[in-house]
Structure 1
Amino acid sequence: MSKSALLVMDLQNSIISRYASNPEVIAPFQQAIEAARTHHIPVIYVRVGFMEGYTEVHPRNKMFGRLAQSGIPAGGEGMQIHDSVKPQPGEPVITKVRVSAFAGSTLEQILRAQEIDTLILSGISTSGVVLSTVREAADKDYSITVLSDACLDLDPEVHGVLMDKVFPRQADVMTVETWAGSLA
């Protein structure tokens, strides 16, 4: 029998702030978290974060190299999980140092320790953490479901292509409502 976990990825203050003009975008994440908790599915939070001084970031890294040069505190408020999806006591918050949820984190050890073989993915951004995690999770032989409306990307066209054409090759893609309905 399979055992699932919901991954809530990169819903940190600095990332959610890019979508502040439309607070309704958080609702599907909240619904997915509530459905997982109701059905005793572990909720695991993943965030990107660095040590003081960004010692893990090489200057050649186009994405994180600019962040290291920005002067933004490595462990500041921007790196914390947004209050609208705040973890409950006992729900792990894993820190990664690259795009994939597995990169430089303890995610795989936690999944193995809990005998989880099925991942339900949600996160910001579709073309970043979700794409990288789908690819790596598939290579690690996890069963994967991507919650299409609990993933966001600043480019709606890229989001659509990934959901319609790329992810279905390695994952089931469905809405939060469809997934939650399948749990009953």
Structure 2
Amino acid sequence: MSRLAERERHIPGRAALVVIDVQNDFCAADGSLPRRYDFDLQFVDAMVPRLQRLINAARAVGMPVVFVRTVHDESNDSPAWLGRLGDGAGSERAGVTCRTGTWGAEFFGVAPQPGDHIITKHRFSAFVGTNLAITLTSLGIRSVLFTGVATEVCVESSLRDGLFHEFYVTLVEDCAATYAKAAHDASVSVVRKHFGLVTTSQELIDSWALVGQTGGIGYGGQ
């Protein structure tokens, strides 16, 4: 199988858009994490409209959109998972988010439509214990565009595993968000240095428009 050139990694027919954990418990003011821990939502609030636009643009050019959601309950809350933060401050955070069947587990500001794909995960990475890799491969996808929440946790974990599953990976930096700018910026830097490409939603939308105009491969990004 030939290597994809950088300009080819973001075009319809080669790539899929993956939306990670844009759910109430992570993104809404009344969600479990923002409410319990006073997390700053300004970056999430600013990101969601850009993500909505990007999702609509991807659908318009026929690019697969995959929504990944986190769900937790007694069937997947192992002792190691619940105890991952130890017995110190913050350990109570485990086991309170996105409980099965609750409002907190529902999507926030985005929603799958007919033709989209939904993957349910129980760990930070969207590839652990799921059929995401099989879904992408079955769709003929070689390159994955990652978006969602939180940049340095579930988005970056999923992106890293995407590379380890032999997909080309890209972080859409303005369509990923977390609760502190420094954490987001550090994750963007790590991805750019070690794991894949970094682009923006406008660069993608512009490149898709160019493909539509020329009928060929075009890429207006970095």
Q: TM-score range by the shorter chain?
A: 0.7 to 0.9
User: Size of the alignment, in residue pairs?
Assistant: 179
- Contact 1:57–1:65 (CA<8 Å) still a contact in 2? no
Instruction: State how far apart, in whole Å, the 1-side matches of 2:59 and 2:184 are.
Output: 27
Post-superposition Cα deviations, 1:12-55, rounded to whole Å, max 9, x if no partner, equal: 111111465673331111121011011110100001113xx422
How large is the Cα RMSD of the aligned pairs? 2.2
Q: 1:46 aligns with which of 68, 76, 81?
A: 68
Report the 3-state secondary structure (helix = DSSP H, G, I; strand = E; otherwise coil) of the residue aligned with 1:173: strand
2:146 aligned with 1:124: no
Shift of 1:10: 0.2
Distance 1:73 1:167 in 2: 30
* Aligned 8 A contact 1:47 1:95 in 2: yes
1:118 offset after TM fit, Å? 0.7
2:56 equivalent to 1:34:
yes
**Partners of 1:157 and 1:31 in 2: CA distance:** 25
CA distance in 1, matches of 2:27, 2:203: 24
- Separation in 2, partners of 1:71, 1:183: 36
What displacement does 1:152 show?
Answer: 0.5
Instruction: Structure 1: state its 5+ residue gaps.
Output: none
Contact 1:59 1:65 in 2 (8 A): no
Indicate the SS of the match to 1:60: helix
| Pair member with larger Rg | 2
Is the 2:172–2:199 contact (alpha carbons within 8 Å) kept by the matching residues of 1?
Answer: yes
Q: 1:177 aligns with which of 197, 202, 220?
A: 202
Letter in 2 for 1:87: P
Task: Provide the rounded CA distance (Å) in 2 between the counterparts of 1:161 and 1:36.
Answer: 27
Q: Work out which of the residue numbers 108, 114, 124 in structure 2 matches 1:99.
A: 124
TM-score (norm 2): 0.73
Equivalent positions of 1:31-180 (< 5 A) are 31-50=53-72, 53-61=73-81, 62=84, 66-68=93-95, 70=96, 73-82=99-108, 84-163=109-188, 165-168=189-192, 169-180=194-205
* Contact 2:152/2:183 (8 A) holds in 1: yes
Q: Helix, strand or coil for the counterpart of 1:112?
A: helix
Residue 47 (structure 2) aligned to one of 22, 25, 38: 25
**Whole-Å separation in 2 of the counterparts to 1:144 and 1:30:** 20
Residue ranges of structure 2 left out of the alignment (5+ in a row): 5-12, 29-33, 35-39, 86-90, 210-222
Cα distance in structure 2, aligned partners of 1:15 and 1:81: 10
The answer to whether the Cα contact below 8 Å between 1:28 and 1:176 also exists between their aligned partners in 2 is: yes
The answer (yes or no) to whether the contact 2:191–2:198 under 8 Å persists in 1 is yes
- Give me the TM-score of the superposition, normalised by structure 1: 0.87
Per-residue deviation, 1:109: 1.2
Amino acid at match of 2:17: L
C-alpha deviations, 1:98-128, integer Å up to 9, x for none?
Answer: 0001111111111111111110110100111
